[in-house]
Copies of this chain bind each other. A is one copy, B any other.
């Protein structure tokens, strides 16, 4: 574990901010820039951004191959993300150990559904009411500096059943004023990669200006950074293996 810099790419669909003035008011440079600005101020993290309408969605081989942790926000244009780029991201995660942080409405992104193998559907309601996130894994690095719970005053509701595989770790469970609960911070391991789904983040609320939310994202970045190891020989292809013991 060397103290090397973590290279983060924040990907954003970046459509709501262009089309909707009330969103642009909250995120004048886009959700990606709000997150990137915060992360760039933290020690040991270097962040750039990429968006849907750039060539190759801003995710060229050069960018992907030099990204340690990819943060993903999308909502209205999941289908416009190219399948071949989704497969490249999948390869980078499972083979090379690139981390992935999936935010809010990206539960329906192609890459998250591809990795989960399920519909990733859920209940939702845009009511602008309170959410309270309870820590249920007090040992977890993603809960660093977070108390027993934290609150978001106005948010969109997501409720169970959330159609995901059983998470390898649940960091947060949310309470919603309207009567629902949600597994709001979920860790998954796939091949060499670490994946964190984090629920907060609707475009019409200033969620990504909330210091607790940003702190959780920072914690997740540090947690999701790749572990340095020799390549795992069986990802992604089967290998024919000679015996390691004498079979006489």
Q: Determine if B138 and A232 form an interchain contact, defined as CB atoms under 8 angstroms apart.
A: yes
Interface flags, A202-230, vs B, CB<8A=1, else 0: 00000000000000000100100001111
Decide yes or no whether A127 CB sits under 8 A from chain B.
Answer: yes
In whole Å, how far is A152's beta carbon from the nearest beta carbon of chain B? 13
The answer, among B117, B119, B144, B230, for a CB contact under 8 Å with A227, is B144
Measured between beta carbons, the chain B residues less than 8 angstroms from A219 are 1
Q: Determine if B233 and A179 form an interchain contact, defined as CB atoms under 8 angstroms apart.
A: no
Determine chain A's interface SS by DSSP, over half rule. Answer: loop
Measured between beta carbons, the chain B residues less than 8 angstroms from A28 are none
Q: Determine if A174 and B181 form an interchain contact, defined as CB atoms under 8 angstroms apart.
A: yes
Query: Which A132-177 residues have a C-beta within 8 angstroms of B?
Result: 132, 134-141, 143-149, 157, 159-163, 165-166, 168-170, 173-177
How many chain A residues touch the partner (CB < 8 A)? 83
Closest to A91 in B: B119
Q: A123-B239, A189-B165, A229-B147 are in contact. Are A160 and B139 (CB under 8 A)?
A: no
Measured between beta carbons, the chain B residues less than 8 angstroms from A104 are none
Measured between beta carbons, the chain B residues less than 8 angstroms from A176 are 175
In whole Å, how far is A39's beta carbon from the nearest beta carbon of chain B? 13
The answer, among B145, B179, B247, for a CB contact under 8 Å with A129, is B247
Decide yes or no whether A108 CB sits under 8 A from chain B.
Answer: yes
Decide yes or no whether A19 CB sits under 8 A from chain B.
Answer: no
Measured between beta carbons, the chain B residues less than 8 angstroms from A188 are 165
Besides A94-B163, A125-B242, 19 new A-B residue pairs in contact (Cβ under 8 A), listed by A number:
A1-B144, A117-B117, A121-B236, A123-B239, A135-B161, A135-B232, A138-B235, A139-B190, A139-B193, A140-B227, A144-B228, A144-B229, A149-B160, A161-B235, A163-B191, A168-B169, A175-B179, A177-B247, A180-B241
Query: Which 4 pairs across A and B sit closest by C-beta, in order of nearness?
Result: A179-B244, A178-B243, A119-B236, A117-B117
